[in-house]
Structure formats: C-alpha cells, structure tokens
C-alpha cells in the first residue's frame, strides 16, 4: 500500500526532531490522524506561532515574549549574581525550584568538539561584557555535570580569570559551581562512586 504524501511529509518532519526515530515519527503521525480537526488546527497554530511570538533576550539569551526578557527587567531580582546555564529549559527548572533570585546567562549549548561546537557557536564570550561594570559579585556555573558540561564550566572560569588581569570590574567576581551529589530521598548504597565523591566535596556546615 502506498502511503499518502501528506503522511510521508509529516513523518519526515517528526524524524528531524531530536530523540524521534522512524517508528516514533510514524506513531505520532497516525495518532494525529485520529485527532479532531479543531484540536489539530490548535496544534498547528501553536507550532506556526512558536517563533513569531517568542524572542531571544539580547542580554541573557533566554527565550521570552519580550526583549529584554521579563527576568532581566525585573528590578526585584538580585542583580549582583549571574547563573550560567546551558539551555532555556535549565532556567525554567531553576525558576520552579524557587531557590534562586538572581540573573541568568544562557549559552544555548555546551562545548562539544566532536560535533564542532566551540566557544564561537555558543554565547560564552557574550558573558564578559556583562561583568565589566563592576556590579556582578558572583558567577554561578550551572552547566550540567557531564563531561561536556564540566569542560564548558572550566572554559568559562578560565576566560573570566584571564579577564581579571585587564579589567578591574571583573577582579572581585567570585566564581562558584553548583553542588552535585545525592538526590533527596536517594540511598547511599545505590549511588555511584562519582556521585558519592561529589556529595562529600559539596558538604556544608550543619
């Protein structure tokens, strides 16, 4: 049986999304065939307006509805610290935790030499101008605890430390790394060696 071209086009489009293989793309496509047309129209309109109704903040590079974004323009935020993250989803996760009230800087990725992703493909060097006015006292490196995330954090720390020599506004900035260790509710016996080591390194006074 020949598959309709409309179905083939949608399957092909789904396959281009990260984490979506041929089988999943087919399942999603045939699922949408059974969705009422009104819901399908709503879904289609949401996809169509995704880029036209969002903006990349020219200050922190987070995704928002305005430029500058709502976080950068919020005068109630602590404006002396910047948390550096890999993706806009990381900002959303930290905001849900309600444990951080400072500013952000979104890299839109991490250093991955095997995929030809270097500093110039990310918003790494856009961070330095934000530090030069002397108002920032701490940079929190919150890249993911993966090999690439660690390399990215080390690279950012390196360029900030090198900039301290030339710029007095950067000299007093403290560079910190988010704590990594055992999740709440986790058992020691199930933790791997690296996680246990990180949890001991990140211990604090109790």
Taking only the tens place, the pLDDT of each residue in 106-125 is: 999 999 999 999 999 999 99
CATH of domain 5-48: 1.10.8.420
> Which option is the CATH number for 75-201: 3.40.1360.10, 3.30.450.20, 3.20.20.140, 3.40.50.150?
3.40.1360.10
Nearest to 151 by CA among 132, 177, 189: 177
pLDDT at residue 164 is higher than 90: no
Question: What pairs with residue 105 in β-bridges?
Answer: 84
Residue 170 has pLDDT above 90, yes or no: no
* Region(s) of the chain under CATH 1.10.8.420: 5-48
Q: Note the pLDDT tens digit of each residue in 64-87.
A: 999 999 999 999 999 999 999 999
- State the pTM of this model: 0.83
CB 81, CB 137: distance < 8 Å: yes
Q: How far apart are CA 189 and CA 187, in angstroms?
A: 5
- The boundaries of every CATH 3.40.1360.10 domain in the chain are 75-201
pLDDT at 20: 96
Tokens 């007093």 appear where?
172
Strand partners, 83: 104, 140
Query: Where are the alpha helices (H) located in the chain, listed in sequence order?
Result: 5-15, 22-33, 37-48, 88-97, 147-164, 168-171, 193-201
Residues in the chain: 206
């Amino acid at each position: 049986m020949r598959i309709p071209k409309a179905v083939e086009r949608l399957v092909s489009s789904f396959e281009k999304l990260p984490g979506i293989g041929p089988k999943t793309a087919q399942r999603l496509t045939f699922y949408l065939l059974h969705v009422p047309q009104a819901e399908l129209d709503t879904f289609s309109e949401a996809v169509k307006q995704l880029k036209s109704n969002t903006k990349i903040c020219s200050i922190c590079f987070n995704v928002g509805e305005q430029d500058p974004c709502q976080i950068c323009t919020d005068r109630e935020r602590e404006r002396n610290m910047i948390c550096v993250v890999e993706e806009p989803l990381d900002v959303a996760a930290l905001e849900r935790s309600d444990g951080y009230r400072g500013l952000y800087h979104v890299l839109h990725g991490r250093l991955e030499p095997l995929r030809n992703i270097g500093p110039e493909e990310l918003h790494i060097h856009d961070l330095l101008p934000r530090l030069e006015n002397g108002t920032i006292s701490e940079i929190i490196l919150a890249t993911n605890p993966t090999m690439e995330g660690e390399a990215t954090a080390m690279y950012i720390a390196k360029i900030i430390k090198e900039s301290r020599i030339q710029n007095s506004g950067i000299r007093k900035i403290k560079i910190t790394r988010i704590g990594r260790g055992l999740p709440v509710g986790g058992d020691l016996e199930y933790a791997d060696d690296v996680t246990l080591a990180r949890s001991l390194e990140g211990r604090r006074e109790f």
